[in-house]
Structure 1
Amino acid sequence: MPVGGAGGPGDGAAEPGTVRPGGRTARVRAAVLEAAGDMLAEQGFHGLDLAEVARRAAVGKTTVYRRWGTVAGLVADLLTDMAEQSLPRSDTGSLEEDLLANARLVARTLSDPRQGPLFKAVIAAATCDARTAEALHRFYEVRVAEWAPCVQEAVERGELPGGTEASDVVRAVSAPLYYRLLTTDAPLDEAAARRAAGAAVAAARAGAFVRTP
C-alpha cells in the first residue's frame, strides 16, 4: 500500500522519496514510516502528529522534523515506500488471469485491517492537501506503470485492438473496487475482484480504451 531525508520547505534538502538511505538511516526511516502508517489507519490524516510519530518510533523529534519537515512530507515518503514495496505484477500470458491477479491484489490490500483505513485516510487528505494529492498521484502512476505491460502484451498477442490505452485498462480494474471501498460496506471479496477484472477485459476487447485522435 515507496529514501531519503528532507528538511523543511525551502532549505535546499532533497524531497522525501528522492534519496535512498542505508544502515541506521534506513532503520530510522522504516520505524518512522511504520508509526506514521499506524497513526493514519487509526486516526486519519488530521490525527497525524510528527511528535507522536517520533515517540511511537522511538526516534528523536528533532530527527523527524529535520528530515520530513511536515505531515505532508511524511505522508509523501510513506506513499513512495508503499509503491516500492508493492508486489510486482503477475505475468501469466493471459490477459484475463493477469488482470484478475491485479484485482485480487487490490481487493486484498483494501480489505486489510490496516491498509484499508490507511488508504481511506490518504485519499481523504488528498482532497484538501495539494502535496498529499501529488504524492498519491505518483503512487498510482508507479503502480499503473507496473501493470500496464500486461495490457500491452495482450495487444501484441492480438487479444485487444491496436491503440488500446494500457494504463486506462489497469485503472478500470481498480476503479470499481475503490468505489466499493469508499461508498459501501460490501466486502471486497473474490466475486468483486472477478467482476472488476471481467468488466475491464470485456470493455477493452470492445475497444472502449482505444486511443482516439
Structure 2
Amino acid sequence: MFLYGNEEKQKNIEMIAKRIEVCEKCPLNLTRTNTVPGSGNVDSPIMFVGEGPGADEDALGEPFVGRAGQLLEKMLKEYAKLERNDVFITNIVKCRPPQNRVPTQEEVKSCQSYLDGQIIVIKPKIIVTLGNTPLYYFTGESKITQSRGRFFNWYGDIKIFPTFHPSYLLRNQSSTKGSPKWYAYLDMRIIGIMYRALKQGKDVEEVTKTVEEKIKSLENAGGSQT
C-alpha cells in the first residue's frame, strides 16, 4: 500500500525498489548482478521509459549509465536544456535480459506491476518512450520511425511521446536532416519545451497542442539544431 502526499513519493519509490530487489517472478533474476529499478526526480512531470538494463546498468544498478546513457544525458543537456536528475528514468523490465536481447512478453508481464507502481507514484503528465519495446507496451504500435514525435493517449490522461532509443542512435551516426539522430535532437528540444511548460503549471492538453504545432513548424523549417 502506498503512502500519500508529495513528500512521501521518494519513500514509495524506494519501497518499490526494495520489492524489485528481491523479485523472483521471472528467470531474469537468475542471471542478474543487480536489479535496476530506476532513478531521478520523483516530482518530474516527464518520465522516460526504456527497454531494459544493459551490462553497465546491471553492474551498477542504475539505468542508462553506459554509452547509450551517456548519449541520452548529452542530448538532455544540449537540446532539452535539462539535467539527467530533472526527470525520472526507468525501463520496462528491471533486470538485464541475457546478451541484451529484447525482453519476452512473459518477462514484461512479470515486471508490469513495478512499472505501474512507479507511474502511480510519480504521476507523470508525459511518458517519453525510448525505442520499440516501450512504444509497443504503451501504445501497441511497433514502428518507431512512424510513431516518434506524435502523442498517444494513455490511462489517467497521461500522454505518450515516443522517440528513438539512444543505443539505436549510436548505430546510426548520421545527423543529416531526416536521419534518426536529427529527429531525436528535435524530439529532445520539444521535451525541454514541454518540461518547462508543465513545471509552470500549464495543462497537459494545452502543452501537447502547442507542441504539435511547434513540431510541424520545426520539421517544415528544417529543424535547426542550434
TM-score range, shorter chain: 0.3 to 0.5
Higher-helix-fraction structure: 1
Higher-Rg structure is 1
TM-score scaled to structure 1, two decimals?
Answer: 0.37
TM-score scaled to structure 2, two decimals?
Answer: 0.36
Higher-strand-fraction structure: 2
